Amino acid sequence: MSSKGTDYYIEAGKRSARWHAEYRQAIKGCRFDTIAVHGVYSLQEALDFNQGSTIEPIYMSASQAFRDSDEMEAALSYQTPGWVYSRIANPSMFYLEGVLALLETYGSDIEATCCATSSGMSAIYSACEPFLVTDRDKPGQAMNFVATCQVYGGTFQQFAVRKDRERDIEWRKVVNSNNISDWESLIDENTRFLYGELPSNPGQAFFDIEKV
């Protein structure tokens, strides 16, 4: 069997990505309930790939099949859309993350993506940790982050114990999260990120994200 070459699959992937982007923009203009029900799963996908299923199937396979080694190469090198292995991604996660991103930004012009995790603490860790990478050229560099006091107990332990006490990454606490000057006074050149939870648990506190 002759191979079509990696370029063929890369171009096919680009067309698929454009189609999904256009569909996403179209569904973004729908009502909240419509997005929640239909999400980014289209009638076209139902008819072309899923035997007409009106809702997206749950994909339970551990890995993805490919037509030939060129398609696999294009997917493994991230040059074309593919999920490859379910520990990395799979279509079920793609649909879930797509609809959550649309619902979270509903009614706004914000273009957002979503990364679903197995737990809330995993999500918090994954969101914060990339900002705490140390610079090899600056050993011993001071780091801090600014976060509200009104956080979930697990978050408090992650910040106070795992980061502040064990790794000497200073947690600068904002007592009144609605006072912008309180945030400003704690930020300096070593601040890696700002953090808050809305609504907070269990206090149900809010603050103005845009101003912060």
116-132 tens-digit pLDDT? 998 999 999 999 999 99
CA angle (192, 197, 131) in 5-degree steps: 20
Q: Read off the pTM.
A: 0.76
25-45 tens-digit pLDDT? 999 999 999 999 988 999 999
**pLDDT computed for residue 2 by the predictor:** 62
Enumerate residues 6+ apart whose C-beta is below 8 A from 85: 62, 63, 64
Mean pLDDT of the 5-10 span = 94
126-156 tens-digit pLDDT? 999 999 998 888 777 899 999 999 999 999 9
**pLDDT computed for residue 1 by the predictor:** 56
Measured between alpha carbons, how far is 59 from 92 in angstroms, rounded to an integer?
A: 6
Written as one string, the DSSP assignment of 83-115 is --BTTT--HHHHHHHHHHHHHHTTTS-------
Confidence of residue 15 (pLDDT cuts 50, 70, 90): very high
Report percent pLDDT > 70 for the chain: 99
- Are the C-beta atoms of 13 and 81 separated by less than 8 Å? yes
Listed by start position, the domains of the chain span 6-104, 120-195
pLDDT higher than threshold 90 for residue 79: yes
Measured between alpha carbons, how far is 96 from 26 in angstroms, rounded to an integer?
A: 17
Enumerate residues 6+ apart whose C-beta is below 8 A from 167: 132
Look at residues 105, 81, 76, 109 and name the one whose alpha carbon lies nearest to residue 93. 81
Mean pLDDT of the 81-96 span = 89
